[in-house]
Structure 1
Amino acid sequence: MPHVTVDTGTADNPIYQVGRKSFVFFRNPRPDATDPETGERYDDVIVVWVGSEADKQAMVQDEASPYFTTPHFGGHPSVLVRASRIGEISRQELAEIVQDAWLSQASRRRADAWLRDHPPPG
């Protein structure tokens, strides 16, 4: 995606930004995202912005999907996914969620230019 910069978080985790707005970042282990069996904090959580609450709910409603959320992210336009489960997402779906995340944070001018040059299928 154009105009992307990569910053680093507190544990040198990558933070992907467009126009200084994050759209994908790798989160540090936190108490709100833990293994339900062991209680261990997940160390591989990726935060991905989404376009709307409806998009978020559509992604997290299927408990078998790799997408999830926590109360900490209630009302936040993002979903969580564990890096260890990224293989459950097709390359095309992954490209789409990253593109949608970028579009949700890019300026109107940048988003319009991208969509003009890369019209959605269908």
Structure 2
Amino acid sequence: MATWADVRRLALALPETSEGTSWGSPAWKVRDRTFVWERPLRRADLEHLGPGAPDGPLLGAAVADEGVKRALVADDPAVYLTTPHFDGYAAVLVRLEAVDAGELAELVTDAWLAKAPKRLARQHLAAERPAPSE
């Protein structure tokens, strides 16, 4: 089970990330581009989701494109969901209490890569690659 402290730690470990708010909720940005944020459900979301609406904390996360969003929701609907509010937008909602630590780390990094400037993303990926063994 992941926590907001885990999200904060993972997000702030990435280059040029800052913590702030978006619509009054915690959000993490890379050069002023939000990549992960707390996303409480709104009335329209609750109406759409009906009795199956999650009641725990939700993380919004940028993804590379809508295909990735659809794949995540289809592959693991116990963890990932979306609402009509996000139609046409490359982002997914994540049940924070259902995602494991390793998957959260990958999700936060991928969200950062989706929003980071290309040069910064390339530099980060190059720095993360293990050095070739001799």
| TM-score normalised by the chain length of structure 2 | 0.74
Aligned position for 1:44: 57
Aligned position for 2:106: 96
Aligned-residue identity in percent: 34
* In 1: Cα distance, 2:65 partner to 2:23 partner: 28
Question: How many equivalent pairs are there?
Answer: 115
Q: Report which structure shows greater RCO (CA 8 Å, sep ≥6).
A: 2
Structure having the higher helix fraction is: 2
Shift in alpha-carbon separation, 1:32–1:43, aligned structure 2, 3 A? farther
* In 2: Cα distance, 1:29 partner to 1:5 partner: 24
Kept in 1, the 8 Å contact 2:81–2:94? The answer is yes
* In 2: Cα distance, 1:22 partner to 1:78 partner: 11
Greater shift, 109-118 or 44-53, is seen at 44-53
Shift of 1:115: 0.6
* In 2: Cα distance, 1:31 partner to 1:111 partner: 36
Q: Deviations over 1:43-98 (max 9, x none)?
A: 72221000122211110114643100001100100000233x3xx32211110110
* In 1: Cα distance, 2:31 partner to 2:76 partner: 33
3-state DSSP class of the match of 1:80?
Answer: strand
- CA-based RMSD of the aligned residues comes to 2.3
3-state DSSP class of the match of 1:2?
Answer: coil
Shift of 1:38: 8.1
Q: Structure 1: any 5+ residue segments left out of the alignment?
A: none
* In 2: Cα distance, 1:96 partner to 1:63 partner: 15
3-state DSSP class of the match of 1:81?
Answer: strand
From 24, 35, 39, the counterpart of 1:27: 39
* In 2: Cα distance, 1:70 partner to 1:38 partner: 12
1:17 and 2:29 aligned:
yes
Matches within 5 A, 1:64-75: 64-75=77-88
* In 2: Cα distance, 1:22 partner to 1:74 partner: 18
Q: Which runs of 4+ in 1 moved over 4 A?
A: none
